[in-house]
Amino acid sequence: MKILITGGCGFVGSNLAIFLKKNLKRVNICTLDNLFRNGSEINKSRLSSLGIKNFNIDIKNYNKIIKLKKFDLIIDDCAEPAIEISSK
């Protein structure tokens, strides 16, 4: 099974990816994250150490998104948690 987690280098997405990788057999986990937020690079390193690939793509970039390989399951964890930024 191939799973893509959007927002995969954020707090929720990275911990979900790690949990699934450790608890599911025969699964290929990939994440998608634009690495905009502080801490994203740290989480990317954590994921990479477990063999989880991250696509450095902004979810708004449709032309890059459609070029990705097909996945069996997509879990959407991308969000802007800062109220000040998300209200604009």
Q: Mean pLDDT over residues 66-86, rounded?
A: 84
71 close to 3: Cβ distance less than 8 angstroms: yes
* pLDDT level of residue 88 (50, 70, 90 thresholds): low
The helices-and-strands tally (H runs, E runs) of the chain is: 4, 4
What is the pTM (predicted TM-score) of this model? 0.87
